[in-house]
Amino acid sequence: MQLSRRRVHPRRAASLASVTALTLAISTSAGTGQLTADSAAPGSVAPVRSSALRPCMIHGHPNIQMPEGIPTPSGYARSTGTVHALTVMVDFSDAPGQGSALSRFAEFFPQTRQWFATGSYGRLDYRPEAPIRHWLRMPKPFKAYGIERGAPFDPGYRQLVQDIVAAIDPKVDFRRYDLLNVLATPNAGPSALDTVLSVTFAGNTDAPLADGVPVANASFIYSRQDDGSGSYAVTGYRVMPHENSHTFGLPDLYTQEGGTAVGHWDIMSEDWGADNDLLGWHKWKLGWLGDAQVACVTGHGTAAYTLTPLARTGGRKLVFVPLSSRAGYAVELRTREGNDAAVCRPGILVYRVDADVDTGDGPITVYDSQPGSGGCTRSPNVQAELSDATFLPGQSFKDTKAGIVISVVGKDRSGNFRVHVTRR
C-alpha cells in the first residue's frame, strides 16, 4: 500500500511547529558567537577550511534559527569522530511497553549507525548505547506530559527529560554522551500514519542539567513509520538519522507543501520510503567532505570540473557557485549506490542553498531538469516529480539574470561526470 501524501502531511506541519518552538530555546541562548570561523560544534574536529573556499561558506542572518550556513553555530552535537548516543526506551502506565525494550532499540540500530558510517565515508563513528536494557517506566502517564504534535519543549518535554534524568542519573554519566535518544513505546500516542510526533530539540542550552551539562541535543521517537508496504523492517529506522541530523545542526528541508522543494534527495526532506542520502552541501557542512572535495567557483569565464558519485569515497563531490554571501548554487553527482536506493536517473543535481531561509521554509530548492514530467520513480513514499530532476550530458542549467550556466558535458567509464560552469 502506498502511503498517501495527505497522511504524510500532518507530520510536516507538526515538526515545523515543534522546530519553531524548540528554536525559541536556541535563540534565547544564541548570544554565544554566531557563525565565526571558530564557533563550529564544540568537541568536534572543526574542519580547517581553506581560504579559497571562504566565498562559498555562505551564512545567514543571526536570527535564522537553524541555518544552512557554514560553519554551523555552536551548541549542536559533534558530527565527526566518535559520537556517543545515549539511548533510553521509555514506557508509561497508560502505555506499557510491549515486547522487550531491546527489540524497540533493534528497530533503529545498528541500521542508523551504518547509515551514518556510509554517508560520512567513515568520518562519523556513531555509537548507540543503551546502558538501561529494560523499559524505563515514567512516573506519570503518557497523557500527563501533554505531548502532541507541535508540543513545545516546555512544560511536557522538560518534565519528561527531568524524569528520565532522575531515573537513570545514578547509573549513567551524561558527560560521556553527545546526544540523547528517547525511544517511546510505540503504543504511546497516535499512529505515525496519522501524526508523526517524533521531534528533536537541538542546541537547547536551556534544557535540564544532568551531571552538570544541559541535555541540549535530544531526539524523541514515537510510533512506527510503517506505511504498510512491507518495508518497515528495512526502512522504518530512517526517522532516527533524520532526527539525529537535527542534533548536528541540519534544518528540515520539507515545507508546508511536503517534499516538493527537495524531493527524495536528502533525508531532511523525506525520511519515509527507500533509503536516501544527504545532499553534498550537508556533507560539507557536517565535516564529511574535505576541502579538496569541494570547488568554489568565484572567477569569471568557464571552468571545467569532474564530479565523482556522491556515494563513493574520494574525489570531488561538490561544486558551489556563490551568488552572494548568503546564497548560491550547488552541483553534485547522484547515483543509485551507498545510501541512495531510489535514484532512477543518475546524473547531476543542481540546487540553490539559501542561508537566510529558515528550517521548514525551504532553505534548499532542487531544480528540475524535466519539470512536469511526473518523475521516474514508482517507489512508495518517494516524491515522484523531482526524482528525474538530474541533468544529463547535453543539458544545462541557466540563471540568465545572474549570468551563470552549468552544463553537463560528458560522462567517463568510471561513471564520473564532467561539468562546465560559466560565470559572466
Summarize as ranges the residues that interact with Zn ion (CB under 5 A): 15, 252
Between 76 and 417, CB nearer to Zn ion? 76
Q: How far is the CB of 84 from Zn ion (least distance, A)?
A: 22
Q: How far is the CB of 251 from Zn ion (least distance, A)?
A: 8
Between 159 and 247, CB nearer to Zn ion? 247
Q: How far is the CB of 146 from Zn ion (least distance, A)?
A: 21
Between 252 and 340, CB nearer to Zn ion? 252
Chain residue whose CB lies nearest Zn ion: 252
Q: How far is the CB of 334 from Zn ion (least distance, A)?
A: 21
Q: How far is the CB of 197 from Zn ion (least distance, A)?
A: 12
As a three-state string, the secondary structure of the chain is: CCCCHHHHHHHHHHHHHHHHHHHHHHHHCCCCCCCCCCCCCCCCCCCCCCHHHHHHCCCCCCCCCCCCCCCCCCCCCCCCEEEEEEEEEEEECCECCCCCHHHHHCCCCCHHHHHHHHHCCCCEEEEEECCCCCCEECCCCHHHHCCCCCCCHHHHHHHHHHHHHHHHCCCCCHHHCCEEEEEECCCCCCCCCCCCCCEEECCCCCCCEECCEECCCEEEECCCCCCCCCCHHHHHHHHHHHHHHHHCCCCCCCECCECCCCCCCCCCCCCCCCCCCCCHHHHHHCCCCCHHHEEECCCCEEEEEEECCCCCCCCCCEEEEECCCCEEEEEEEECCCCCCCCCCCCEEEEEEEECCCCCCCCCEEECCCCCCCCCCCCCCCCCCHHHHCCECCCCEEEECCCCEEEEEEEECCCCCEEEEEEEC
Between 23 and 335, CB nearer to Zn ion? 23
Q: How far is the CB of 199 from Zn ion (least distance, A)?
A: 7
Between 253 and 350, CB nearer to Zn ion? 253
Between 111 and 200, CB nearer to Zn ion? 200
